[in-house]
Chains A and B, each alone.
Chain A
């Protein structure tokens, strides 16, 4: 019994190292100078250039990212992440409310129309989606960045599952007390869904923040670049340079992963609950 327990710990330690070491190395290496990294390789200890490197990446205009600063890209990533999460919660809560709490003629049809979107990820229909967007004149706008990503049913299903688990008696009681559909939604359902909505917010924020292909297609104007788009940009400057700016590339990678990683680690119990309870 005792021996197996040591083996268990060994496997876990190795697994944790395999998963987290690359992130630690990225963070440490980003605080060294490019020339040091070039001659000595990746670093496991902090260097003395944290402030300079991150200041450069966040504020320098016309660096490897052309005319846009890292701070601007970070702001765009936040706009995309938060905008997407809020949009998703609003749309899907309303739609799930209609599906679960109303008796109406085309309920089944509406359900299937929404449900079908789970079948096809955006990656499969990028080309025609891009054409539709350019036809609508939405290239290089925040609307174009956020709204098309909302066209999927994930959030609606999370809320549908949740609303179905809400006790029937609540609605009966509310109706006896004379509450209409609006009052019931705002005074009963929304407060009840707070934890659920928070979990979905975290999942959706991470999803929006991490979008890569769609922002890449939708933004040609550097003012709308997100951090993910910036990563693509670094690599294009990379080719042909003598000593690539390893430190700045790592710093950008750290900035791009920090907010979602922190949110997931800090709110892990909510996040795991939201993820595992609603996906089944």
Chain B
């Protein structure tokens, strides 16, 4: 906050009013409604609802299908986060190291940042298409008969590939700006002390990047959990039956396709808790554990 401030009885509220109005109507109200309806069983035909306590939560958490989806979501999130961070970091380190062509590489590598998840999904569908997909042909060459959309494993593979592809530029941008923000003196000192480039990276550079990496870890987990909705929706084309889906997609399916409002709300609240824990973790770690910046 500023040392010198205006004091006015009305003005600050006036300036805050539009933002607060939007947030209350479109954020707090729906969130409260979600929590509220997670404790009710709604009649599918709209004839009232009955209070059922924690039944929706118990039903959700005991449902083997839900648990299978939760397991897939965990694996999907772990793989997408790991590969997009690792590849983003690798490319950032290389782009930071080269001098010639630096700007061109940078432009090429960030150019796909702005592609929307469903567009990425659509392009991915074409590359994994039964008739025209080059990836299917390459897989066939190695004796892997890839059937995206029919085989659970193959669809999951395609989904993870597309989700990673779309996220690399984001991580690249942050890692590169993190690397370029490191003081030159530290690098020079490290270069004198340690000849091995790989060792130097892991003992000096990477710890200095830790705050960036941790920030990105949380962002990528959130991305894999929520923003991949478009990728998944395009790739499973509403036929979730035998295809892998994530928890957010399940919320959508149950709420809008299955008309199970209570169950869908309970799932929403469970996801809210997951995000809440992630965010708290983010702040705790950034504030306490990582002192390098």
Residues of A whose CB lies within 8 Å of any CB of B are 4-5, 8-9, 11-12, 15-16, 18-20, 22-23, 25-26, 29, 37-38, 41-42, 90-92, 94-95, 97-104, 107, 110, 113-114, 117-121, 123-132, 147-148, 150-153, 156, 164, 168, 171-172, 175, 181, 184, 206, 209-210, 212-213, 217, 228, 231-232, 234-236, 238-239, 246, 249-250, 253, 256-257, 260-261, 263-265, 268, 272, 275-276, 279-280
Q: A98-B12, A151-B22 are in contact. Are A128 and B109 (CB under 8 A)?
A: no
Query: What are 6 A-B pairs with beta-carbon distances under 8 A?
Result: A23-B112, A97-B15, A101-B2, A103-B6, A128-B268, A256-B119
* Residues in chain A near residue B220, CB distance under 8 A: none
Q: Check if A102 sits within 8 Å of B6, measured CB to CB.
A: yes
CB < 8 Å: which of B112, B122, B133, B215 contacts A279? B215
At the interface, yes or no: B66 with Cβ under 8 Å from chain A?
no
Could you mark each residue 96-129 of chain B with 1 if its beta carbon is under 8 Å from any beta carbon of chain A, else 0? 0110010001111111111111110011111100
**Of B52-60, B72-80, B271-279, which binds chain A?**
B271-279
At the interface, yes or no: B146 with Cβ under 8 Å from chain A?
no
Q: Check if A231 sits within 8 Å of B7, measured CB to CB.
A: no
Q: Check if A128 sits within 8 Å of B115, measured CB to CB.
A: no
Residues of B whose CB lies within 8 Å of any CB of A are 1-9, 11-13, 15-16, 18-20, 22-23, 25-27, 29-31, 33-34, 37, 87, 90-91, 94-95, 97-98, 101, 105-119, 122-127, 131-134, 137, 165, 168-169, 173-174, 177, 197, 211, 215, 222, 226-227, 229-230, 233-234, 237-238, 248, 251-252, 255-256, 261, 264-265, 268, 271-272, 275-276, 279
Interface of A is mostly: helix
Q: A92-B19, A118-B279, A119-B275 are in contact. Are A257 and B114 (CB under 8 A)?
A: yes
Closest residue to A152 on the B side, CB-wise? B27
Q: A12-B94, A91-B19, A232-B233 are in contact. Are A127 and B12 (CB under 8 A)?
A: no
Q: Check if B215 sits within 8 Å of A127, measured CB to CB.
A: no
* Residues in chain B near residue A20, CB distance under 8 A: 108, 111-112
Q: Check if B91 sits within 8 Å of A95, measured CB to CB.
A: no
Q: A253-B119, A276-B177 are in contact. Are A114 and B20 (CB under 8 A)?
A: yes
CB < 8 Å: which of B12, B25, B90, B131 contacts A102? B12
* Residues in chain A near residue B197, CB distance under 8 A: 4
> How close is B101's CB to chain A, nearest CB, in angstroms?
7
Q: Check if B123 sits within 8 Å of A253, measured CB to CB.
A: yes
Q: Check if A100 sits within 8 Å of B105, measured CB to CB.
A: no
Q: Check if A95 sits within 8 Å of B7, measured CB to CB.
A: no
Q: Check if B132 sits within 8 Å of A42, measured CB to CB.
A: yes
Q: Check if A231 sits within 8 Å of B119, measured CB to CB.
A: yes
Q: Check if A212 sits within 8 Å of B275, measured CB to CB.
A: no
Most buried by B among A206, A217, A264: A264
CB < 8 Å: which of A41, A103, A121, A130 contacts B134? A41
